[in-house]
């Protein structure tokens, strides 16, 4: 049985609901919002419904996306400001311009000197209040233009570092050249930048190869609904929303 048909009336959606969604790989956060809005409007007959997300996930990331409807969209900033938790994988010994798999590898580095002990000690250096440079391939704006637009034109605008906080950086598995991690961090933290900086501190290189958001504040991925395509799991078309 479809969750939205059974659980939400038009009035409740307009008054405001918070939906926990497990974003699929390859989807933009905007595509998720668009599809949910279309689905809810069609199921309830609402002609105009505000729907927004509280915290963007990159297309190559999966996991918890908070979706607000109706009057609840006024609380989006409150949700965005909450701490986040992620799990994922770094690949050591190579970098990419985007710091993840969006772009091809551009440089290779030695990893023979890297031990498990060095990896864990290096992770400790990234806990607490730190400065971080956002990736050039990001949606942040400079002079009215997205940074990734500059990057795709081969330009490198000046980017200022931002103060962020990482309360936990746990190395969960080491199988070089890959390491699996868990990070709990503040709003505005780029895990792609963390991967890049981590590799530099190891006197090597690194990039992010997988990322999954597992928590936002007290909200957990365990309680989220996933989106499955009826015809094609990789297509942002023709989906239904069902419980895990």
Query: What span, in angstroms and rounded, lies between the C-alpha atoms of 232 and 140?
Result: 31
What's the length of the chain?
244
Using CB atoms within 10 Å of the CB of residue 42, give its burial: 0 to 12 exposed, 13 to 18 middle, 19+ buried: exposed
> In the annotation, is 58 catalytic?
yes
| Secondary structure (DSSP) of 133-165 | PPPSSSS-EETTEEHHHHHHTT-------EEEE
Crossing angle for the helix pair 116-124 and 191-201, to the nearest 10 degrees: 120
The single residue listed with the structure tokens 């950086």 is 169
Between β-strands 162-175 and 178-185, what pairing exists: parallel, antiparallel or unpaired? antiparallel
**118: which 2 tokens?**
């060095």
Cα-based angle 35, 37, 43 (whole degrees, multiple of 5): 100
Active-site annotation holder among 22, 58, 100, 197: 58
Active-site residue list: 58
């Amino acid at each position: 049985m479809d969750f939205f048909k059974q659980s939400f009336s038009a009035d409740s959606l307009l008054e405001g609901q918070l939906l926990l969604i497990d974003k699929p790989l390859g989807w933009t956060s905007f595509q998720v919002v668009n599809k949910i809005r279309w689905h809810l409007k069609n199921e309830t007959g609402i002609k105009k419904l505000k729907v927004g997300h509280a915290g963007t996930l990159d297309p190559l990331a999966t996991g918890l996306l908070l979706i607000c409807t109706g009057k609840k969209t006024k609380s989006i900033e409150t949700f965005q400001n909450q701490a986040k938790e992620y799990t994922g994988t770094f690949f050591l010994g190579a970098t990419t311009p985007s710091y993840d798999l969006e772009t091809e590898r551009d440089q290779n580095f030695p990893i023979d000197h890297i031990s498990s002990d060095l990896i864990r000690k290096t992770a400790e250096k990234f806990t607490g209040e730190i400065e971080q440079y956002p990736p050039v391939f990001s949606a942040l704006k400079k002079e009215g233009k997205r940074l990734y637009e500059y990057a795709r034109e081969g330009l490198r605008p000046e980017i200022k570092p931002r103060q962020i906080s990482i309360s936990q950086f746990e190395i969960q598995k080491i199988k070089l050249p890959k390491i699996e991690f868990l990070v709990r961090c503040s709003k505005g933290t780029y895990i792609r930048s963390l991967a890049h900086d981590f590799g530099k501190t190891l006197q090597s290189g690194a990039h992010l190869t997988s990322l999954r958001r597992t928590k936002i504040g007290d909200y957990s991925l365990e309680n989220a609904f996933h989106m499955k395509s009826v015809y094609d799991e990789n297509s942002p078309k023709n989906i239904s929303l069902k419980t895990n």
